[in-house]
Structure 1
Amino acid sequence: MDIKTYIESGILELYVAGALSEKENEEVYALMLQHPEILQEVLEIEAAIIKLTSATSRGNNNHILQNIKQVLNFNNKDTKVISIAKPKYNWVTYTGWAASIILAAGVFWTVNQNNKLQSEIQVAETKQLLLETQIANSKNSLEEANTLITVLRDDNITRIPLAGQGSFANTYAKVYWDKTAQRIFIDGAGLPEPPEGKVYQVWSLTLNPLTPTSLGTIDDFKTDANKIFEIKNVNQSEAFGITLEPAGGSETPTMEQLYTLGVV
């Protein structure tokens, strides 16, 4: 699309003046969102019109009135009778000036109405987007709930309680291991909210020799209301542990920050 040609076509002036159809208004609005040059041009057109109406407002008309009095030979002391046969002023000039004010006022009103309509459209679009997001979240939550119910009721799922360790003896978690699907579900309801800049990291352990393998970090712990997290696990795990690590995770577990541990 040639932006310059589109701007020079005059359609943006018609848009600002409210002279386009509803479909054409929507098309221009969509292009404004896509092309900053078009949006800037619309803003400049509106600013020019507003400046015109401000320049012809009542507060700035005193000098015009004085000019009219001067042309008509009026003053504060006496009044002269002007011959109708030989007028000393041009009615066409002042009629055109008045018409310009009326036109500018009409355009200014149209701009305000157009801005109001655009605001209403934006509010409606925002509400629609919010509703769609809520519906999508509800759908995802329902699917997650159905998945969890299936896991909890499956006799082939291995359940491993993770007990609190050391200074974190009052914490706990649970692991539900679906070996067939090679995944685990971490129930972290017994873990406190991690401090700023820290995340929980889940480890798969083999005991002889003791070898930890990271299964990843729980980055959305604070925002997840259910505190249940699905994690891929392809390891032949003999135990699971959860440590508190710096954001981004660690290559090896920080044993001083081992919150929970449980053997399969």
Structure 2
Amino acid sequence: MDTQEYIASGILELYVYGILNESETKEISDLAKTNSEIKNEIIAIEKAIVNLSSSFSPQVSAEVFEKIRAKLELKHTKVIEMKPKSNISQYLGWAASFALLLGAGYLYTQLNESNSSIKTIETEKSVVEKQVLDLELKNKETATALSVIRDTKNTVITLGGQAIAPESFAKIYWNQEAQTVYVDASGLPEPPEGKVYQIWSLKLKPALTPTSIGLLENFKENGQKIFAVSGTTGAEAFGITLEPTGGSASPTMEQLYTLGKV
């Protein structure tokens, strides 16, 4: 047969796979040394197998496959000597290992990206939840402030600044019927670290008698600066002093910020 018929017969594929017997293998090996077309075809088959193995989709044409199958069926009663003339099996193993490594790396990267996305979503969720809580708190503070200011039963006492802070001011909203007291401290400066404002209910006669009715704690966090303190009865004046954290048993008069009579 001529060269093209020889190539089309499928025997070169069997040669590359190492399935031919020793004499057939030697015949093709000798022929490849003298026939460049045969040699080039063998090289092309080997390259094709390596390329196909790297993508894990090895495909052989139906015509060639049938020739290989027919050849194998003819020899099924014999012991087939495997005489591979190339490192195809080794290439296939390397390709499989490399592909497995790439696949594992890809899955690991995807897992890390998924975990990172979950953490990002959880962080964003926490931020949104905090924003919602802050908004709810501000709305509550605003609603409280409005209800205090609009309550017609409240007596409003204006407290003016004293010597230590003449620019300071505050307001007392005192519902004598319900015995509730709210303090509008928006005119007071933020207290320094370790200090807190303390509210005093004062009786002026027969002698000055101060009674603590509360502390303006968490001053910075209170956006509206409206504070609810303890109720009182019989107050003739109100004063605000700056005291150590936790408050004092009696007012520090040198730290009297505001004062106002009822």
Using the size of structure 1 for normalisation, the TM-score is: 0.58
Task: Map 1:1-264 onto structure 2 (within 5 A).
Answer: 85=83, 91=89, 99-208=96-205, 209-264=207-262
2:213 and 2:232 in contact (8 A); partners too? no
Spell out, residue by residue over 1:201-236, the C-alpha distance to the aligned partner (whole angstroms, 9 max, x if none).
Answer: 222223344332222322222232322222232454
Aligned-CA RMSD value:
2.9
Question: CA 1:95–1:144 in 2, change beyond 3 Å: closer, same or farther?
Answer: same
Aligned length in residues: 180
Letter in 1 for 2:256: L
Which portions of structure 1, spanning 4 or more consecutive aligned residues, are displaced by more than 4 angstroms? 86-92, 94-98
Question: CA 1:98–1:204 in 2, change beyond 3 Å: closer, same or farther?
Answer: farther
Give how far 1:152 is off. 1.8
Structure 2 unaligned regions, length at least 5: 1-81
Aligned equivalents of 2:219, 2:251: Cα separation in 1: 18
Letter in 2 for 1:216: G
2:142 and 2:224 in contact (8 A); partners too? no
Aligned equivalents of 2:250, 2:106: Cα separation in 1: 68
Question: CA 1:110–1:227 in 2, change beyond 3 Å: closer, same or farther?
Answer: same
2:170 and 2:186 in contact (8 A); partners too? yes
Give how far 1:114 is off. 1.8
Letter in 2 for 1:214: S
Letter in 2 for 1:212: P
Question: CA 1:112–1:88 in 2, change beyond 3 Å: closer, same or farther?
Answer: closer
Give how far 1:191 is off. 1.1
Letter in 2 for 1:194: P
2:182 and 2:229 in contact (8 A); partners too? yes
Identity of aligned residues (%): 46
Give how far 1:240 is off. 1.6
Give how far 1:237 is off. 2.8
2:141 and 2:223 in contact (8 A); partners too? no
Aligned equivalents of 1:180, 1:114: Cα separation in 2: 66
Using the size of structure 2 for normalisation, the TM-score is: 0.58
Question: CA 1:247–1:100 in 2, change beyond 3 Å: closer, same or farther?
Answer: farther
Q: Which has the higher Rg, Structure 1 or Structure 2?
A: 2
Structure 1 unaligned regions, length at least 5: 1-83
Question: CA 1:250–1:105 in 2, change beyond 3 Å: closer, same or farther?
Answer: farther
2:141 and 2:224 in contact (8 A); partners too? no
Aligned equivalents of 2:230, 2:143: Cα separation in 1: 19
Who is 1:37 aligned against?
A: none
